[in-house]
Amino acid sequence: MSERIRVLVVDDSALMRKLIPAILARDSSIEVVGTAMDGAFALKKIEELRPDVVTLDLEMPRMDGIEALRLIMRRAPLPVVLFSTHSKQGGYSTFQALALGAVDFLPKPKDAAAGRLEQIADELIAKIKVAKRAAGRKLPPAVVREEPVTPKKAHRAALPPRRVIAIGISTGGPNALQFLLSQIPADFQSTLVVVQHMPEGFTEMFAKRLDECCALQVHEARSGDLLLAGRVLICPGNRHVMVRRMPRGDMVVLSDGPPVNGHRPSADVLFHSVAQEFGLTAVGVLMTGMGDDGAEGLGAIKSAGGMTIAQSEDTCVVSGMPRAAILKGYANKIIPLDGLGTFLVSQYGAEQNPAEKFDKKDKDNRTPVSSHRA
């Protein structure tokens, strides 16, 4: 039998310091070895107890979670799962903490103060197990800027993209995506549509943070948003996103369809629509994440003649999603995170040549490669 995962629970609420260990006790592979009421106590308990994983509240007196995380990562890095209240300020702090090295996050339920944590028990347990497996994985370099990118992106003409690049990403995604986008210049000639597994209410702030940290224009997607060169559209939490070719231009469409692979948004939904609508000119990228969402959709893009890319497993925080596609033979290329931006820019960053324009026009007159509709 494998050793149990030793967890330290850090939260300023005495109630939470009782309830969190109680729900974690449901899983026999997890052992809560201690609790701490703030960051200062947490640092002492980490040195004393040597836990495998820390669950960390962010809003605490004396030493808050951000400062504690900075010191944890500086002294003796170990996997941290953020478990904190969802608020506008809390959301900003969450992304700051992910950039500092936290593996993942889970917002507390709105009724947590009333002692109701049952609804998130399984998800918290799963994230702790993933965090333990991610121990020792090298995170992408943090792209942390207190000020917006300078010079800020100049206004550019609304041009159709050379390629539509669909990205599916999950655990470890905020850092990886921020690093990737920081490598792409403002004059990039393609568009990116991103499914990041993230709870409702976080994606708008996530998109704004990415917009501040890269040269591209990043927005949370809305139905009817046009696919334009140099634009990045992030699917809202708890929605699906698809692409459609319409008379007034290629665009994204959001839906409230049922979860796919347990996820909404689902990378498979996006990938299948990109395969159907763009076929030979579609590009699919599957990055760090737990599970297998996106693998079959990537296979659909490959079958349609498009380019499929998987992030190399050794550069993923969690390699489940790209690994699932690689094992099925769906990835045309396997590229490490630090080479992915360079590849996309070299292949899809310049103006399309006349031959590509002819191919695209010719393809527009063909029958769609698939009748799949998510």
SS (H, E, C) 124-152: HHHHHHHHHHCCCCCCCCCCCCCCCCCCC
Plot region of 86 (φ>0 → left; ψ -120 to 50 → alpha; else → beta)? beta
- pLDDT tens, position by position, 147-185: 444 454 556 667 899 999 999 999 999 999 999 999 999
Judgement on whether residues 266 and 317 belong to the same structural domain of the protein: yes
Judgement on whether residues 310 and 353 belong to the same structural domain of the protein: yes
DSSP-derived secondary structure letter, 235: P
From the candidates 170, 273, 312, 319, give the one annotated as an active-site residue: 170
- pLDDT tens, position by position, 312-348: 999 999 999 999 999 999 999 999 999 999 999 999 9
When the pLDDT of each residue in the chain is averaged and rounded to a whole number, the result is 87
Residue 156 in domain: no
Residue type for position 265 = P
Decide if 293 is catalytic.
yes
pLDDT over 80 at 354, yes or no: no
What value does the mean pLDDT take over residues 66-75?
93
Decide if 219 is catalytic.
no
Angle 213-214-215 from CA coordinates, rounded to 5°: 140
Judgement on whether residues 337 and 212 belong to the same structural domain of the protein: yes
**Contact in structure between 112 and 151 (CB atoms under 8 Å):** no
The pLDDT value given to residue 71: 95
Judgement on whether residues 360 and 318 belong to the same structural domain of the protein: yes
Judgement on whether residues 171 and 122 belong to the same structural domain of the protein: no
**Contact in structure between 268 and 261 (CB atoms under 8 Å):** yes
Judgement on whether residues 101 and 191 belong to the same structural domain of the protein: no
Judgement on whether residues 186 and 58 belong to the same structural domain of the protein: no
Residue 374 in domain: no
**What crossing angle do the helices spanning 337-348 and 173-182 adopt, rounded to 10°?**
40
Judgement on whether residues 109 and 180 belong to the same structural domain of the protein: no
Pick from 115, 133, 151: which residue ends a domain? 133
Judgement on whether residues 208 and 339 belong to the same structural domain of the protein: yes
Residue 115 in domain: yes
Residue 220 in domain: yes
Judgement on whether residues 346 and 266 belong to the same structural domain of the protein: yes
pLDDT over 60 at 371, yes or no: no
Residue 148 in domain: no
pLDDT over 50 at 77, yes or no: yes
Q: Which residues contact 106 (CB under 8 A, 6 or more apart)?
A: 81, 82, 83, 120, 123, 124, 127
Residue type for position 133 = R
Q: By residue range, what is the domain housing residue 64?
A: 5-133
Residue 153 in domain: no
**Contact in structure between 196 and 206 (CB atoms under 8 Å):** yes
CATH code for the domain of 46 = 3.40.50.2300
Number of structural domains (the chain) is: 2
From the candidates 197, 240, 263, 272, give the one annotated as an active-site residue: 197
Residue 358 in domain: yes
The pLDDT value given to residue 82: 95
Pick from 113, 133, 153: which residue ends a domain? 133
CATH code for the domain of 258 = 3.40.50.180
What the block records as the tokens of 280 is 């030979």
Confidence class for position 88, pLDDT limits 50, 70, 90: low
Judgement on whether residues 196 and 274 belong to the same structural domain of the protein: yes
Confidence class for position 117, pLDDT limits 50, 70, 90: confident
Residue type for position 146 = E
Alpha-helical (H) ranges within 4-120 are: 14-24, 39-49, 65-75, 88-100
Measured torsion, CA atoms of residues 222, 227, 228, 233, in degrees rounded to the nearest 10: 50
Residue 218 in domain: yes
Confidence class for position 207, pLDDT limits 50, 70, 90: very high
Decide if 11 is catalytic.
no
**Contact in structure between 120 and 47 (CB atoms under 8 Å):** no
Judgement on whether residues 10 and 89 belong to the same structural domain of the protein: yes
Pick from 133, 151, 174: which residue ends a domain? 133
The pLDDT value given to residue 83: 92
**Contact in structure between 26 and 150 (CB atoms under 8 Å):** no
